Amino acid sequence: MPNEGIINFVITVPRPIFWSSTATGAESHTGEYMASLLKKMVEEIGAMKVLAICTDNASNTKKA
């Protein structure tokens, strides 16, 4: 998959568990797009079960 992004989601309860992987294809990783992926993940898990979200230091994830 050259030039195609993949975003992985890992949850910790209390040990790390791989939750999902999203192949983003040619989709631009804007703050809005990242926020939509995070929102979907939180909805799948349940908002009352999510204490925090940790991302890398990229500007698009800071915006999300």
| Residues 28-56, mean pLDDT to the nearest whole number | 89
Q: Is the pLDDT of residue 27 over 70?
A: yes
| Residues 9-14, mean pLDDT to the nearest whole number | 86
* pLDDT score, position 39: 93
Phi-psi region of 60 (alpha: psi -120 to 50; beta: other; left: phi over 0): alpha
Q: How confident is the model at residue 3 (pLDDT cuts 50, 70, 90)?
A: low
| Residues 6-30, mean pLDDT to the nearest whole number | 87
Find the Cα–Cα–Cα–Cα dihedral 29, 31, 34, 39, rounded to 10°. Answer: -160
